[in-house]
Structure 1
């Protein structure tokens, strides 16, 4: 079987950042999938599941309500390895195109003080698995350590 593109990236060289994971054509449209890498793969502990679940709910809610990006948001969700998130937007985009909205989203997550959206038994399949304080901590860590200091090596996959 052919390897999928994300399995060809050397995760030992991967920094935390924002990367174009792939681009797919759907009819005349291009969908760009981004790797929002919040943890150093195989170097630091993966995110806690309840915190990551909360970040998923907050991030998806933020994006689907964003003035500019709501209509272009296809998906926001966690990576199975728990070292980041996948974000899919409509459009032929690059990492620099989404830096501002990613910063806004992580500001939203790190400052969130209300009831977590979609966390009751009717709205969520695992509604008891959430951790807002830890989600806020993870979001703040990423925005301060990574998003505030982005360089080309945080925006392009390593060779």
Structure 2
């Protein structure tokens, strides 16, 4: 296959083994700042996916709570294929820090009693949320914590 501009389009999705966390790439700015982008894969590509209300709530919970554990989170955004999230961090190349932030954030999800910004003023589709679904995803992911560093089958 020809090399594509998007890193994940060059990844052989048939050879990965979810769940995992992998460094996707590093983007360096003009002044030397670096953004480290990670692939947090939760579901096995082309075999399973997250349902939208659960994914949406997990996005809200992770985006809000991750910043309590790391002050240089740039973004946490879901993949369109509904199998995971991208996490972008500024000027921190420590893989162990990323794993720690993800673990602490997922623990926060389990302890949550509501989805942050789950209303029509703060969310573009407030009717599409599931705290229970997000907590189920977080629990499943935490139960497989020892697998996060193993990307390929």
Superposition TM-score, scaled by structure 2 size: 0.89
User: C-alpha separation between the residues in 1 aligned to 2:97 and 2:73?
Assistant: 14
Superposition TM-score, scaled by structure 1 size: 0.86
* 2:54 corresponding residue in structure 1: 51
* 1:21 corresponding residue in structure 2: 24
Give the secondary-structure state (helix, strand or coil) at the position aligned to 1:109. helix
User: C-alpha separation between the residues in 2 aligned to 1:90 and 1:126?
Assistant: 29
Alignment of 1:5-154 (within 5 A): 5-15=7-17, 16-27=19-30, 28-43=32-47, 45-66=48-69, 69-70=70-71, 72-113=72-113, 115-145=114-144, 147=145, 149-150=146-147, 152-154=149-151
Is this contact kept in 2: 1:23–1:32, CA < 8 A? yes
Unmatched 5+ stretches in structure 1: none
User: C-alpha separation between the residues in 1 aligned to 2:149 and 2:124?
Assistant: 38
Unmatched 5+ stretches in structure 2: none
Is this contact kept in 2: 1:34–1:95, CA < 8 A? no
Give the secondary-structure state (helix, strand or coil) at the position aligned to 1:153. coil
User: C-alpha separation between the residues in 2 aligned to 1:144 and 1:52?
Assistant: 18
User: C-alpha separation between the residues in 2 aligned to 1:153 and 1:82?
Assistant: 20
Give the secondary-structure state (helix, strand or coil) at the position aligned to 2:150. helix
**How many residues in Structure 1 have an aligned counterpart in Structure 2?**
149
